[in-house]
Structure 1
C-alpha cells in the first residue's frame, strides 16, 4: 500500500479536534486510508441503504450504537446527523470521537459550516501526488507516463488499465453525482459538456462560449461546472488581481485534478497520441498546477495559487503568494531549455519589482539548474520545491 502524506497531520490533529472530516474525489483512497490509519475505530458506511435509513429515521438511536470512536463514510447522505453529532461532541468534549468522510464537497462542507464549525479539522485527499509515487519508485523520468495514466490508486493498486478505469469512473461516479445532485436527465449532453471542458483545459474559462457550444443555457453550464468542482473533477485557478499599472485578465482558468481523466476524454492513450496533440502544453501545465494543489492539500499547507495575465498576452502560469511577496512559475512541456521561456518571468519581475521573490521555470526534463536570476526545475522535482 502506498503511504499517503496526509496521514501524519491527521494523526496529530485527531488529538486536538473532536471531529476529523476527510473529503476528496471518489476512489481517491479515503476509505482505505481511514481503515488502515484507525483500525480501532468502528466503520459505518452510509452508502449502505440499511444504515442510511436507520440514521434518517432514528438518528439518536443510530448514534447510541456508536458510543466509542467511529468512522462515518459518505456522511453527507444524512445531513441532519451533523446537528446530533454537534450535541454529542459539545457534551462529551472527547477529541477524535468522530471521523467523517464524504465525496461530495459542497454537501459535506455546507453541513460542517452549519453545524460543526470550530469543532472539526477538514482534510482533502486527492489522487496520488508525485511524492507518494516517488517514495515507492512509481514516478518515472518521463512525464507522459503519469500524465496519460493518471494518479488514482486503483490504477496502481489493482493494475486496472487506464481506459477501462476512466470509462467506468465516468459512468459510475461522475454521472451518478450529476443525477443525484441536480437531476440531470440528458446524460449524453452532460458527457458532451465534460468533453468540452477537457478541450478547454488550461485555458481561460468562458462560460458563455462553453454553454453555446454545448447547446445549453449559461445557468445550466454554471450548475454543471459546479457539479464537476464539488465532485473534485475540475477546479478553477483564479487570476492575480493586483494591477501593477497594467490591464489584467480577470477570468479564471480551468483545470482537472487528474490528467489521466482528461486524456481519456480527449482520446489520448499513448505517448504517440500526445506528441502531436495541440493540447500537449496545456496538459503538461495542468499536470504541474494540479500537483501544486495536491501537495498543498496533502501537506496541509493552506496556500493559495493564482496565475497572472495582462491584456497584451503577457502571462505567468502560476503565482504562490507569501505575506508580502510571491513566487512565480513558468511551466513549459519542452525537454529543452530555451532563453525565450523566461520572458514571462522577466516581464512580471520588471513591473512587480521587489514583490517577486523566487522565479522558477518548470520544464519537461529532469535537471535542476540554479542560474543567476532563475531556478530551472525538472517536472518530477516539483514536490521538493
Structure 2
C-alpha cells in the first residue's frame, strides 16, 4: 500500500475535469478529511485565472456571510471550499450562472449533504452536477484499476483472477480504512486520528446541521451501530437497545448519514415476489472508523468471536459503492434478503435490468450453503442474472455451477474489463 496517500491519484479527478467542461456548477460532496480540498485545488491549478476561497478561514467565512453576492463575483472558475458553512451563497451563485451559462464557473466542496438541509433555497436544479468523493478505495491506494463492476457485467461468469493475498492481509486493510490521514499512520497514532475525527464530526459538523442537546447519546449510538455494521437497519430495535426514543434515533441516523459516517443500503426486490424484506442494511462509510469504535485491531478482528464477518461485508459494500461513482456501468447497489432469511450481501442492478450478485466470505473456503442466496437470485431472474460471485479470502477462482464463481476478494480492485 502507498506510504504517500497525498500523492495518490483519485478516480474522481477526471470526473471533475469532465464536468467543468459542460456544467456551470460542480459540487464535490463527501466526508470530512476524504481529500476534497486537495482534489479541487488540483482542478483549479489547471486554470490559471481561478480563485480559491476557503470558508474554514474565519475572515473568509465572515466576508461570505456579510456580502454573499459580492463574495461570488469572479469572471473565471471560483472554488469555494466547505460550502455548507454558508449555504446562503447558493442563491447568488444561481443568479450568476443564470445570467451567464458558461460552463465551469463554480467548483464547490461540501462535508455534509447540503441539499438535504431543509432551510436551503432552490438548489441549482439543472445547473449543478454532484460528484461524491469517498475515502481512498483500495485500488487508489494500490494503483490498481478498480473496475470490478465493469468487468463483472462485461465478462459475467467468465471472470478469472488469482491472488497472492491471504486473510491477514485483508484484515490489515479493514482496520486501516481509507482516510488519507489514517493510511499514513502507525496503529496507535491512527487511533488518535479516529478519536479526533469523530469528536470533530459530532462537535462541529453534526451541530451545524441540527441542535443536539445530549451529544453523549450520539457517541453511544455510534458504538452500537459499529457493532451492527452489515445488519438490517431497524430503528425500533436500535431504540430499544440504546434507550434513545425512536423519533430521536431516526433523526440521529439522518444526521450521521448527512455527514457521511454511515450509509443505508436499500433492499432489492424483483417486483415479482412479496417474499423480499424491504428493510435497508447499515454500512459504515469507512471500516477503519467502525473497527476503531468496537476496539478491534487486525488480530482481535480475526479471533473467534471477532467481527471479521460483518466488517468484511461492510468493506466490500463500500468498495462497490465507491466504484459505482466512476464505473461505466450505471448500476445501483442493494442488498437482498427474503423472509426465509435467504440473502445476498450485495446486488447491483443496471437501468436495463441486468443484475450481478455478490456474497462475501471472510474465510478461504467456500461451502455449498454459501451459494444459496445467489442461486435463489439466479432462479428468480433468469436471463437478467449476469453472474454471481462469492468474494472470499482464498487465492484462486473456482466454478460453482452455471453463472456462479468464487473469486479472490482483491478482484474488487485488481480487475478491469
**Is the shorter-chain TM-score for this pair beyond 0.5, marking a shared fold?**
yes
Which residue in 2 is equivalent to 1:205? Answer: 233
- In structure 2, what is the Cα distance between the partners aligned to 1:108 and 1:22? 15
Gaps of 5+ in 2: 1-6, 146-162
1:318 aligned onto 2:346: yes
1:252 aligned onto 2:280: yes
Q: Which deviates the most, 344-353 or 70-79?
A: 344-353
- Answer yes or no: is the 8 Å Cα contact 2:392–2:409 preserved in 1: yes
SS state at 1:84 partner: helix
1:131 aligned onto 2:131: no
1:350 aligned onto 2:379: yes
- In structure 2, what is the Cα distance between the partners aligned to 1:310 and 1:203? 14
- Answer yes or no: is the 8 Å Cα contact 1:366–1:380 preserved in 2: no
1:49 aligned onto 2:49: no
How far apart are 1:82 and its partner, in Å?
A: 0.9
How far apart are 1:86 and its partner, in Å?
A: 1.1
- In structure 2, what is the Cα distance between the partners aligned to 1:140 and 1:6? 28
2:406 aligned residue (367, 376, 379): 376
How far apart are 1:267 and its partner, in Å?
A: 0.4
- In structure 2, what is the Cα distance between the partners aligned to 1:167 and 1:364? 30
- In structure 2, what is the Cα distance between the partners aligned to 1:272 and 1:313? 28
SS state at 1:38 partner: helix
RMSD: 2.4
1:171 aligned onto 2:199: yes
- In structure 2, what is the Cα distance between the partners aligned to 1:331 and 1:46? 41
How far apart are 1:229 and its partner, in Å?
A: 0.4
TM-score, normalised by the number of residues in structure 1: 0.92
Structure number with the bigger relative contact order (C-alpha 8 A, sep ≥ 6) is 2
- Answer yes or no: is the 8 Å Cα contact 1:233–1:256 preserved in 2: yes
Distance 1:71 1:159, change over 3 A: farther
Which aligned pairs between 1:353-364 and structure 2 lie closer than 5 A?
353-364=382-393
- In structure 2, what is the Cα distance between the partners aligned to 1:337 and 1:364? 10
Distance 1:273 1:352, change over 3 A: closer
- Answer yes or no: is the 8 Å Cα contact 2:348–2:357 preserved in 1: yes
Which aligned pairs between 1:141-290 and structure 2 lie closer than 5 A?
141=165, 142-157=169-184, 161-242=189-270, 244-290=272-318
Gaps of 5+ in 1: none
How far apart are 1:223 and its partner, in Å?
A: 0.7
- In structure 1, what is the Cα distance between the partners aligned to 2:314 and 2:181? 21
1:20 aligned onto 2:50: no
- Answer yes or no: is the 8 Å Cα contact 1:16–1:95 preserved in 2: yes
How far apart are 1:109 and its partner, in Å?
A: 7.5
- Answer yes or no: is the 8 Å Cα contact 1:178–1:224 preserved in 2: no
Distance 1:283 1:206, change over 3 A: same
Q: Number of aligned residue pairs: give it.
A: 383
- Once the two structures are superposed, residues 254-285 of structure 1 have per-residue CA deviations (whole angstroms, 9 ceiling, x without a partner) of 01010000000000023244322343211110
- Answer yes or no: is the 8 Å Cα contact 1:2–1:136 preserved in 2: no
- In structure 1, what is the Cα distance between the partners aligned to 2:390 and 2:247? 38
Distance 1:213 1:172, change over 3 A: same
SS state at 1:297 partner: coil
- Once the two structures are superposed, residues 149-192 of structure 1 have per-residue CA deviations (whole angstroms, 9 ceiling, x without a partner) of 11101123566832111111111223322223222132222111
Distance 1:379 1:335, change over 3 A: same
Q: Which deviates the most, 175-184 or 194-203?
A: 175-184
2:110 aligned residue (99, 102, 105): 102
How far apart are 1:301 and its partner, in Å?
A: 5.5
- Answer yes or no: is the 8 Å Cα contact 2:171–2:301 preserved in 1: no
1:62 aligned onto 2:75: no
How far apart are 1:90 and its partner, in Å?
A: 1.8
Distance 1:200 1:60, change over 3 A: same
- In structure 1, what is the Cα distance between the partners aligned to 2:410 and 2:362? 12
- In structure 2, what is the Cα distance between the partners aligned to 1:357 and 1:270? 34
- In structure 1, what is the Cα distance between the partners aligned to 2:247 and 2:164? 42
Which residue in 2 is equivalent to 1:296? Answer: 324
